Structures are given as structure tokens and as C-alpha cells.
Amino acid sequence: MPKPTGERRDPVSCIPMLGRTLLLSILAVGLLLLLLVSALTTFGTPQPVVINGTAAPPLPTLNPAAVAEGERLYAHYCASCHGANLEGAPDWKVRLPDGSFPPPPQDSSGHTWHHADSLLLTVIREGGDPAENLRMPAFGDRLSDDEIRAILTFFKSRWGEEERTFQWWITVTSGE
């Protein structure tokens, strides 16, 4: 047994190499488990959407079958005006000579996501308000409400997370 020299020894150097490896492995596994539990409790539970202090339920997951059906219906009924990629008409914010606006984009670059589902359903079903000089034709005679909802679900699948979150909040808090 060595004589004490008065020097303090590094406690890790007293552990044989195999013991240090085992200790570091146990610490690493423990840290990973702690991070996993933290992530599951933070991200595993959907959080409410809160804007300006007003909460809405968590953002719902989009149904892949509804997205696919909406994409098919959009291509048939909407793409000729709003564009194959939801891009809208060029200069869609500039009034036409008759005072109406060209068809807007339905992706994140447009304004569709600023409106509640109920308003969007009404506009697609009944068309744009002639008093506002809106030229959107009515599709209620050709599409059921479920088909219109599928088209809206397709739009939402192409919006960014911020746009989807805002539009969901508008839909839930509008009381419509």
C-alpha cells in the first residue's frame, strides 16, 4: 500500500479502466433515458394552440385519404383557375379591369388560411359574393360538403405549420 504523500489523487484515476468504461456507459444510458422521457412528455402530448392568450384544441392530424381525395377533386374542379400547384393567377392581388380579383393561391402564399373552415366551405359551395365583385363560381351543385372538406384538407396539407396553426385557431375560435 502506497504511503500518503499529502497530494490529492484524482478519484477517477483510482477506478480501473474497465470500471471507468462501465461507469461512463451507465451514465450515458441514464442521460439518454432522461432525455427520452423528457421528449415523450413534452412532444408526445399534443399542446393547445394559444394565440393572443386565447387557446384552441391541439392542431388535428390530417387524414391521408382525405388529402388524396381532395387533391384529386382539386385537379378536376379547381386547378384550371387556381393553378395545378395551388399557385393562383399571376398578380392575384391586382384588380382586373372589371374590378374583380384573379384567383388567389391556395398554398401558404395566399390568404385562404386567414379564414375559418365554415367561411371557406360557404365560398366554395355558394361562390363569391357578387356584391363584393368576387367571381368565384359556386360548386355546391357539383360537390358535396364532404368533398369540399376534402379539398380544404388538401389545401391544409400544402400550408406551412404556422399557417395551419393560425387557420385552425381561427376556425375554432370564430364560433361559426
Q: Is the Cα dihedral 129, 148, 164, 81 positive or negative?
A: negative
d(CA 134, CA 141): 19
In tens, the pLDDT along 131-156 reads 888 899 999 999 999 999 999 999 99
The arithmetic mean of pLDDT across residues 70-76, rounded, is 98
Output the nine-digit C-alpha cell for 125.
359551395
Query: Same domain, yes or no, for 82 and 1?
Result: no
Output the nine-digit C-alpha cell for 168.
385552425
In tens, the pLDDT along 35-68 reads 655 555 555 666 777 777 877 788 999 999 999 9
> pTM score, two decimals?
0.71
- Predicted confidence at residue 131, as pLDDT, reads 82
DSSP state of 54: E
Query: Same domain, yes or no, for 99 and 37?
Result: no
Query: Same domain, yes or no, for 81 and 61?
Result: yes
Query: Same domain, yes or no, for 36 and 63?
Result: no
The arithmetic mean of pLDDT across residues 70-96, rounded, is 96
Query: Same domain, yes or no, for 33 and 74?
Result: no
Asked, for residue 82, whether it belongs to a domain, the answer is: yes
- Predicted confidence at residue 9, as pLDDT, reads 60
pLDDT value at 27 more than 80:
no
Query: Same domain, yes or no, for 22 and 104?
Result: no
Checking phi first, is residue 20 left (phi over 0); if not, alpha (psi -120 to 50) or beta?
alpha
Asked, for residue 124, whether it belongs to a domain, the answer is: yes
CATH value at residue 110 = 1.10.760.10
Query: Same domain, yes or no, for 32 and 71?
Result: no
Asked, for residue 50, whether it belongs to a domain, the answer is: no
In tens, the pLDDT along 87-137 reads 999 999 999 999 999 999 999 999 999 999 999 999 999 999 888 888 999
Query: Same domain, yes or no, for 149 and 73?
Result: yes
Q: How many structural domains is the chain composed of?
A: 2
Query: Same domain, yes or no, for 61 and 23?
Result: no
d(CA 115, CA 171): 7
- Predicted confidence at residue 163, as pLDDT, reads 96
Tell me if residue 74 falls in helix, strand or coil: helix
Higher pLDDT, 171 or 174: 171
Query: Same domain, yes or no, for 93 and 8?
Result: no
Reduced to 3 DSSP states, what percent helix, strand and coil does the chain have, rounded to the nearest 5?
A: 50, 5, 45
Asked, for residue 149, whether it belongs to a domain, the answer is: yes
Determine the structural domain holding residue 108 and report its residue range. 55-173
Query: Same domain, yes or no, for 23 and 96?
Result: no
Asked, for residue 159, whether it belongs to a domain, the answer is: yes
Query: Same domain, yes or no, for 119 and 148?
Result: yes
The arithmetic mean of pLDDT across residues 58-86, rounded, is 97
